[in-house]
Structure 1
Amino acid sequence: MAFGLDRRTLLEWKQLAGKGEIAFITHFWLDDRFPECTSVTKVGCANVDKLEMWGAQYGLKREWIHHRHEYPHFDLLGNKQIEILRKEGLEEQLTKLGLRFQQ
């Protein structure tokens, strides 16, 4: 279940991803499969090859790209989410939700 996301932020993410840019969006998320995670960062890009190359630098595999939605994306969770957001200089993606970096 996703929540904590406003329409403007979602539309901005869709615009960037739809133009073939690497776009990040973080929101609260609860899923019984991942009880230790309270947020997810979706990294999307309409250009799947570009998305794959971006993900490879962080050890993400092409088969992990979600194609179920209009915008292909990786889901980042837990420590990998924190690691990548730090390296990308996007810590505010978590802090804006009141979440702390615990790594």
Structure 2
Amino acid sequence: MAFGIKRNELLAWKKAVESGQVAFLTHYWVDDRFPGCNTVTKAGCANLDKLTEWGKQYGLKPEWIDLRDDYPHFDLFGKHEREILIAEGLSNQLERFGLLKNKTED
């Protein structure tokens, strides 16, 4: 279940993904399969080659790309989410979702 984002944020992410940009969307998320994680960042891009190359710099494997919809993306959470958002300079998302805290459960 996703929550904590506005419709216009989702639409802007979709538009950026469709245009071939690597775009990021962070939201609150609850999934019992991932205890201790309460956010996820979708790093998406319609250009699969570009998304694959982008992911390689962070050790993300091409088979981890979610292809179930029209917006291919990596789901980033936990330690990787925080590290990638920091590396990408996305301080607004880090602050907004409280991801700057040092979490011991990672």
Class of the TM-score when normalised by the shorter of the 2 chains: over 0.9
Unaligned runs of 5+ in 1: none
Q: TM-score, normalised by structure 2?
A: 0.92
Secondary structure (helix, strand or coil) at the match of 2:46 reads: coil
Q: What is the CA distance between 1:100 and its match in structure 2?
A: 3.6
Question: What is the count of residue pairs matched by the alignment?
Answer: 102
Partner of 2:100: 101
Post-superposition CA distance 1:51-75 (Å, at most 9, x none): 0000000000000000001100000
Structure 2 residue aligned with 1:9: 9
- Structure 1 segments of 4 or more deviating over 3 A? none
User: RMSD of the alignment, in Å?
Assistant: 0.9
Paired residue type of 1:75: D
| Percent of matched pairs sharing the same residue | 56
Gaps of 5+ in 2: none
Secondary structure of residue in 2 paired with 1:94: helix
Amino acid of the residue matched to residue 28 of structure 1?
Y
Counterparts of residues 33-48 of structure 1 (less than 5 Å): 33-48=33-48
TM-score relative to the length of structure 1? 0.95
Using the TM superposition, give the Cα deviation of residue 94 of structure 1 relative to its aligned residue in structure 2, in angstroms.
Answer: 2.8
